[in-house]
Amino acid sequence: MAINVNILAKIIRYQIHDISRSFWLFIYTLFFLLASYGLITFSSDAPKVLISLMNITLIIIPLVSIIFGTIYLYNNKDYIILMLSQPIKRSTLYFGLYLGLVIPLILSFLIGIIIPIVFSKIDLGEHFDVLIFLFIAGIFQTVIFVSIAFWISSVYENRMLGLGLSIFSWLSFSVLYDGFLLIMIHYFQDYPLEKILIGFSLFNPIDLARILLILKLDIAALMGYTGAVFQKFFNTNLGIIISILSLIIWTVVPLILGKRRFAKKDF
């Protein structure tokens, strides 16, 4: 798979310029600005602010990324057809569209969080590593759920079906998955499930990011014995490496599957 870097860069620049004028991207940035400013204004407790930002990040970013990504690819069908009439490889166009959307979304998230923190008087010195992990989690949630959105949009021609599957995917990761784990814990509470739960956590990028952030805030005790097991594993260098690799896999696999489908798709 050969990608023309110059053409890729031009596609990315055009997409960023086009998306930067989007009203919804402005609303997305404004939401994080107001949410961060409000949390910092009404609370001087750094851990509480970071926990609230974590909850907002792990709900809003996956939802916006997967919906925006799905609609974005469907709405660019005419542009895709026009570009494919030129001597441009489909893989180059696909990754150009992907990066052209991911980069503005990431910048909006970072700007919305960083600006209120920089101009606030809240002391995050002791929790600076948590803030870095929050940024890493937000970036991974963006690239992962946009890649899932592109995969779904490349597989299904029906716009409503694709959008419905995208919303269901977000709902599965953010709500239904935790419900499944709670049911399993309830019915198998007499068995040692802690190590099994660690394995299951790797299959959900939202839960994986949440666990890493909670453990960095040293409040794993609130999770009981399971939290102690998670802390023992995820707070080690091996645990962090496995977690980051899992998030990378969650990014790459849907992206490659979507690219393969896009390469064979009849426009």
Per-residue pLDDT tens digits for 42-60: 877 777 888 888 889 999 9
Q: How far apart are CA 189 and CA 27, in angstroms?
A: 44
Per-residue pLDDT tens digits for 92-122: 999 999 999 999 999 999 999 999 888 877 7
- What pLDDT does 112 receive? 93
Distance between start and end Cα atoms, the chain: 21
Per-residue pLDDT tens digits for 150-188: 999 999 989 999 999 999 999 999 888 877 877 877 777
Q: How far apart are CA 27 and CA 6, in angstroms?
A: 31
pLDDT > 80? residue 258: yes
- What pLDDT does 228 receive? 53
- What pLDDT does 122 receive? 74
Contacts of 225 (CB under 8 A, 6+ apart): 194
* Domain extent at residue 134: 5-264
Q: How many domains does the chain have?
A: 1
Q: How far apart are CA 125 and CA 129, in angstroms?
A: 9
Secondary structure element (H or E) that encloses residue 100, with its range: helix 90-118
Burial label for 50, CB within 10 Å (0-12, 13-18, 19+), is buried
- Percent of the chain at pLDDT > 70 equals 90
